[in-house]
Structure 1
């Protein structure tokens, strides 16, 4: 069952989204719309949504204010927003979803399907709490990364990650102080997310944290501080060497 609450101060945008969901999302069993975060908070007392589709920029109370005040509720969140790089990075670091306006129907389908999967194995309160903590940081480099598996969700500072390895459509994270973790997202998604944190795509299958690189030999093998040897692709070798010198 997917019960959806739409919160958007722009009535046209909110109503269009409601119509799109009613027309194209067969799994949505009940949909309600509020034009103000304050009204949405009151509605939560009687309507228990599994999913809130939340605009960020709103007067009086914005989307993040709404989440701060709705801590007793355990719902998933999909943000609907115009482009805001800082907010979107915080959202992605927290393993939460967003849709850029105007809403694309295929992206809407995919986001709701991801919500249905997440309903089965995650505590959304933890993800929202991590987002709110990330937003309090002055520098995105201090964000904590949410990694979700079938066992639950864990949070890590990028500095705790030594390297990442692609396994088909999954990514294996290797840490400095704990056992590896397999996450159901591609390496490409994390390449973009971790680029500002000293991670280098050295090979189609590897993303390495420059902080833990000991050396690169003449054969193009990168030696990590734990003794692991990672291959560097020929076409990336010059870039990798240049980037490592900067670190």
Structure 2
């Protein structure tokens, strides 16, 4: 049985009250994700681990690039080839010496050299947006 092409890719997010939710259509059904609960996404080839704030993680058979396209409008930023982080769960960061971020779950993630300047610009914009 051939499934419609849209069932193999990430679908756009919806807004329910204050919570942002995203529905991901998979080959065997659909999965609903609360965007506000995601701390980071970790890419492993054609698979992505989604790490939640309660400490759990879930494996999806989608690339990190697909998650980037879906989550970047929701204050997520890609800091390296393997990591997409939620800026709302950013605890600390350093762009001097060895650039890295520390998430609220105490995980340290290195920032790629080529993404350092873009990360600094995104942090400035996020800070301005958060204050306003």
Normalised TM-score (structure 2): 0.76
2: CA distance between counterparts of 1:151 and 1:227? 34
Partner residue, 2:89 = 212
Partner residue, 1:199 = 76
Partner residue, 2:130 = none
2: CA distance between counterparts of 1:93 and 1:142? 15
Does the alignment pair 1:224 with 2:103? yes
> How far apart are residue 156 of structure 1 and its match?
2.0
Partner residue, 2:35 = 158
Instruction: State the 4+ residue runs in structure 1 displaced beyond 6 angstroms.
Output: 148-152
1:178 and 1:148, CA in 2 relative to 1: closer, same or farther beyond 3 A? farther
Number of residues paired by the alignment? 121
Partner residue, 2:119 = 240
Q: Deviations over 1:77-96 (max 9, x none)?
A: 557xxxxxxxxxxx7137xx
Name which of 50, 54, 67 aligns with 1:177. Answer: 54
Question: Is 2:91–2:104's contact at 8 Å kept on the other side of the alignment?
Answer: yes
1: CA distance between counterparts of 2:16 and 2:54? 27
Does the alignment pair 1:144 with 2:21? yes
Relative contact order, CA 8 A, sep 6+: which one is greater? 2
CA RMSD of aligned residues (A): 3.0
SS of the counterpart of 1:226? coil
SS of the counterpart of 1:242? helix
Question: Is 1:214–1:223's contact at 8 Å kept on the other side of the alignment?
Answer: yes
Larger Rg: 1
> How far apart are residue 242 of structure 1 and its match?
1.6
Partner residue, 2:11 = 92
Normalised TM-score (structure 1): 0.43
